[in-house]
Amino acid sequence: MCVIRAWTKSNRPSTDMSARILIVEDEPAIAELIAVNLRHAGFDHVVAGDAETAQLEIDRQLPDLVLLDWMLPGASGLSIAKRWRASERTRQLPIIMLTARGDESDRVMGLDAGADDYIVKPFSMQEMMARVRALLRRQRPEKSQDAVTVAGLKLDPSAYEVSAEGEVVRMGPTEFRLLHYLMRHPDRVHRRSQLLDKVWGDHVFIEERTVDVHIKRLRESLSGVGCAHLIETVRGAGYRLNSRAQPSPQT
């Protein structure tokens, strides 16, 4: 069993591997408590105290998940959730609504507004963290720190290592992230623009040709363990990690 080690200064997962969570909460003590717990669990986070600040933050960079308080000064959490669901860019944004309103009709209203989950205050931090992890697993599997194995290739984000049978191969951090994403979504075709969004990040303006360059480097790295054939070019569509691909003589 060989170990492929990505090149990083610290040899630790870079912060862009961990999920980034936006906390929209106007009560500083609650916001801080949530922030501390997220930080301890290894998540990046940012706090917005009202709807306007939250929107500015969303416009700047899409988070991986939002913890959204219902009762906010100005526009309510409910109305922001509706607005985000109506916009193409934020339609898929994972949202957990936090509220003191625990009636069934309130829960229904929150979920109808587009929240993916709903936590009634006061809540335990363990419960909140469990729900955050569960929603990320469902909607942002590539942000999960769980190891993934496809076609004999194992990628362990927490150890920042890729292992396969055979020899040692090195790869850069971008190739590591790209492989991680493809392994989390095997056998699906990804357009270059999708890969730029998911691997390089939202709001990054890079030529689509850049993807080709990193795919080429990734294949070069994987060829060291005879796995380059797993990364397929789908003509006119994009790229795919084919878990059932068979090695061909030229790979």
CB of 27 to Ca ion, least distance (A): 5
Identify which range of 7-15, 47-55, 65-73, 76-84 contacts Ca ion by CB under 5 A: 65-73
CB of 103 to Ca ion, least distance (A): 17
Which residue is nearest to Ca ion, using beta carbons? 71
Residue 141 phi/psi, 5-degree rounding, is: -55, -30
Among 71-79, 101-109, 139-147, 225-233, which window interacts with Ca ion (CB under 5 A)?
71-79
Q: What's the closest the beta carbon of residue 245 comes to Ca ion, in angstroms?
A: 52
Q: Which of 41, 71, 125, 159 binds Ca ion (CB under 5 A)?
A: 71
What is the CB neighbour count within 10 angstroms for residue 173? 16
Binding-residue total with Ca ion (CB under 5 A):
3
* Cα-based angle 25, 105, 33 (whole degrees, multiple of 5): 20
- Least distance (Å) from Ca ion to the CB of residue 212? 47
Q: Pairing mode, if any, of strands 44-48 and 65-69?
A: unpaired
For residue 118, the surrounding DSSP H or E stretch is strand 117-120
Q: Please pick, from the candidates 6, 13, 26, 48, the single residue that binds Ca ion as defined by CB under 5 A.
A: 26
User: CA-CA-CA-CA torsion for 35, 45, 72, 68, nearest 10 degrees?
Assistant: -100
- Read off the tokens for 24: 């929209």
Give residues in contact with Ca ion (CB under 5 A): 26, 69, 71
